[in-house]
Chain A
């Protein structure tokens, strides 16, 4: 176990302090010892840059908006459904989907670290991991929402989910007005990442 040490005698201080050099140094050491394969690192990065991201979550939301049976299953027992869609995986083993309504707005944070539903939303954005969001989302969610340009009606309660265990939360936003008849693909384009964290709302449909 890491024991409490002064800032100077943690092993990490033995590496270069510049972070880009630090990661390079650590990679070199680990590669020379046969403990990592650089191609595996490339594959991990490619996965989260090009394959796993908020388009996954947006598909789930768009289908829930389009299909009442899908929506009911998603809210009551999401894991079989998400597994069928290929959206099971690291940091998404235990998903709970929470639904926004006119009376409740849901918003997700991890005050203790940066827990986030990777298979559905990818790697969290910088602000989600920032001290400001972690510190303030639980105490003054409405001020934080205002910084995202979101103002809720006074009759809407805010429910902030602090991800303190391995349960990961996805917000199911309300379907925007004026989207009747849109296909799943068209709806998917309206679902923003932030609307699934609860710091944003879906985009409005563009008038045809």
Chain B
């Protein structure tokens, strides 16, 4: 079973409401602070992007649904700071009353380093010993159940709507970190990553148009020959 974030194809959400052309990047100041504090904490190097995504996915379905976007970020970040033992639950209660500097304080993101850190990014491609199994044009079938093969309820990037579907290899991206492994402290486990094109009628009972398709980036271990 998947988690609450896995909503592709779901019914009942109502219209998409486009923004106005001159809307600000951050509609309120705390949104900007929430984004910035999340990025600054990431620079402490205590987790990777897959783990931080999983922390948001692990919010209770009730909280995930009622929180606005940056509230999810804040809640995920707070849970992650405690789970990685950067902060204790007591720190959250007594406002971090600290007599001595934190062991990680030397790693804090300095203002002068911000441009370089943002420009450096965090590439996800890695050398890999796993040989590519598929070529462009090959037909593949996705896993029958979208789920983490190592950890029950764990992180995965195969959405439920695309499970058990037949598609065609459209692009080969090289070998990338496997989120199902990296989110759970099991190492990068890089393997080939592909863009897989799936016809809409493979995915939906009533596709809008017979020629439409959805393309997803899927790891080799999510796929078998079809």
Residues of A within 8 A of B (CB): 1-7, 10-12, 14-15, 19-20, 22-30, 32-37, 39-45, 47-49, 52-53, 88-94, 96, 109, 111-114, 122-123, 125-127, 129-136, 138-144, 147-148, 154, 157-167, 192, 194, 199
Q: Is B80 an interface residue (CB 8 A)?
A: yes
Docked-complex contact A90 and B40, CB < 8 angstroms: no
Residue of B whose beta carbon sits closest to that of A98: B215
Q: Are B125 and A94 in contact (CB under 8 A)?
A: yes
For the complex, give the distance between the alpha carbons of A109 and B162 in Å: 14
Residue of B nearest to A43 (CB): B114
Contact call B14/A165, Cβ cutoff below 8 A: no
Q: Given A1-B184, A15-B92, A140-B208, are A47 and B63 also a contact pair (CB < 8 Å)?
A: no
- Among residues 82 to 127 in chain B, which have CB atoms less than 8 Å away from a CB atom of chain A? 82-83, 86-87, 89, 91-93, 95-98, 101-102, 104-105, 108-111, 113-115, 117-125
Residue numbers in B under 8 Å from A133 (CB-CB) = 16
B interface vs A, CB < 8 Å? Answer: 5-19, 21, 23-30, 32-37, 39-41, 44, 49, 51, 53-56, 58-60, 62-63, 68-71, 74-83, 86-87, 89, 91-93, 95-98, 101-102, 104-105, 108-111, 113-115, 117-125, 153, 157-159, 161-162, 171, 173, 176-177, 179, 184-185, 193, 195, 197, 203-204, 208-209, 211-219
Q: Which residue of A lies closest to B170 (CB)?
A: A159
CA distance A135 to B70 in the complex (A): 19
A163 close to B13 (CB less than 8 A):
no
Question: Known interface pairs A6-B60, A160-B212. Does A27 touch B37 (Cβ–Cβ under 8 Å)?
Answer: yes
List 24 A-B pairs, Cβ < 8 Å. A2-B79, A14-B93, A19-B71, A32-B97, A32-B98, A34-B101, A36-B40, A36-B41, A36-B108, A44-B35, A45-B36, A96-B171, A111-B7, A111-B8, A113-B53, A122-B25, A126-B69, A132-B15, A161-B215, A162-B8, A162-B159, A164-B217, A165-B157, A167-B217
